[in-house]
Amino acid sequence: MLDLPLVFLHAFPLDSRMWNGIREPLSRRARLITPDQRGLGRTPLPATTREPSLDDAARDLVALLDKLELERVVVGGCSMGGYVALALLRSAPERVGGLVLIDTKASADKPEAAENRHALAKRADEEGIEGWLAGQMLPNLLAGSTLESRPDVTETVRDLIESQPPAGIAWAARAMAARPDSAELLRGADVPALVLVGEHDNLTPHAEASAMAEALSNADLVTIEGAGHLTPLERPDAVSGAILDWLGRAPTR
Q: What does DSSP assign to residue 69?
A: T
Q: Tens of pLDDT along 56-112?
A: 999 999 999 999 999 999 999 999 999 999 999 999 999 999 999 999 999 999 999
Determine the pLDDT at residue 251: 76
Count: domains in the chain:
1
Determine the pLDDT at residue 253: 60
Domain range for residue 16?
Answer: 6-249
CATH of residue 119:
3.40.50.1820
Q: Which helix (H) or strand (E) holds 219?
A: strand 219-224
Determine the pLDDT at residue 85: 98
Q: How far apart are CA 231 and CA 233, in angstroms?
A: 5
Specify if 1 maps to a domain: no
Q: What are the beta bridge partners of residue 105?
A: none
Q: How far apart are CA 78 and CA 80, in angstroms?
A: 6
- DSSP E strands in 163-211: the ranges are 193-198
Residues of the chain under the 50 pLDDT cut: none
Determine the pLDDT at residue 49: 84
Specify if 187 maps to a domain: yes
Cα distances from 128 to residues 16, 20, 155, 171, in angstroms, run 21, 26, 20, 13
Specify if 155 maps to a domain: yes
Buried-state track 219-237, b at ≥16 Cβ within 10 A, e below 16 = bbbbbbeebbbbbbbbbbe
Q: What percent of the chain has pLDDT over 70?
A: 99
Q: How far apart are CA 98 and CA 118, in angstroms?
A: 32
Specify if 108 maps to a domain: yes
Question: Hey, what long-range contacts does 241-245 have (CB within 8 A, 24 or more apart)?
Answer: 241/25, 242/194, 242/196, 243/22, 243/26, 243/76, 243/100, 243/194, 243/196, 244/25, 244/26, 244/29
Specify if 97 maps to a domain: yes
